[in-house]
Structure 1
Amino acid sequence: MADDSAEGTADRPGVPATPRARVRSAALWGLVGGFAFLVLAQGYLLVIGGLPVGYVGLFVLAGGIAVASGGIAYAVEHRLHAKRRT
């Protein structure tokens, strides 16, 4: 039987993530949140029309959403991982 440790680096469920992995995961979730907001705003502009803020305002809002979603992901990820819901 082959050694399974060489196939991947995934931890067992319930094992706490390292701080570096948590930061990387939260940063990626922040990027997903920011880009999702920009995609939705672009869709709104294409379908409906103008927005009350300009493009600079959209990027500022996207940055705020990215920071907020990354912070929320960092704060709750260890709880979800401990309950095996990730």
Structure 2
Amino acid sequence: MSDGEGGRGAETDRDDPSGSGGGGRAPGAPATPRARSRSAALWGAVGGFAFLVLAQGYRLVGPGSLPVGIGGLALVALGVAAASAGLSYLAEARLRAKRRT
């Protein structure tokens, strides 16, 4: 196959999650601080947006309004995002040490 499709040549497959010849890290290997912080930031964003979705759903379907306004919801969402980012940063090292990731 002269056009480069098909078999594996000298290049490595970066999408190979098994780590068997793909050049990736073995399971249980410690993550870099940059990767851990990026993962924690993304989990923080997920937590904050999940809170905002739940609050909006309550406002749409629930029996009444919430005791805080839009600004209060934004502050609580930032708190939830910070808490979930911090917890995911701390928990990742423990889960990786137990090889549960």
What TM-score, normalized to structure 1? 0.90
Give the whole-Å Cα distance in 1 for the aligned partners of 2:12 and 2:26. Answer: 12
Distance in 1 of aligned mates of 2:37 and 2:93 = 11
* 8 Å CA contact 1:14, 1:84 repeated in 2: yes
Please report how far the alpha carbon of residue 78 of structure 1 lies from its aligned counterpart in structure 2 after TM superposition.
1.1
2:70 corresponds in structure 1 to: 55
What is the total number of aligned residue pairs between the two structures?
86
| AA in 1 matched with 2:50 | A
Q: Percent identity?
A: 62
Give the superposed CA RMSD. 1.8
The structure with more helix, counted as a fraction of residues: 1
Q: 1:53-72 CA deviation, whole Å, 9 max, x = no partner? A: 00100000000000000000
- Residue in 2 aligned with 1:21? 35
Task: Kindly indicate whether residue 58 of structure 2 is the aligned counterpart of residue 31 of structure 1.
Answer: no
Q: Structure 1 regions of 5+ residues with no counterpart?
A: none
Q: CA deviation at 1:4?
A: 7.7
Equivalent of 1:42 in 36, 40, 56:
56
**Structure 2 gap ranges (5+):** 1-6, 16-22
Go from structure 1 to structure 2 and tell me whether the alpha carbon gap of 1:24 and 1:41 turns closer, same or farther (over 3 Å shift): same
Paired letter, 1:7: R
- The question of whether the paired residues in 1 share the 8 Å contact of 2:48 and 2:78 is answered with yes
Relative contact order, CA 8 A, sep 6+: which one is greater? 1
Instruction: Tell me which stretches of 4 or more aligned residues in structure 1 moved more than 2 Å.
Output: 1-11
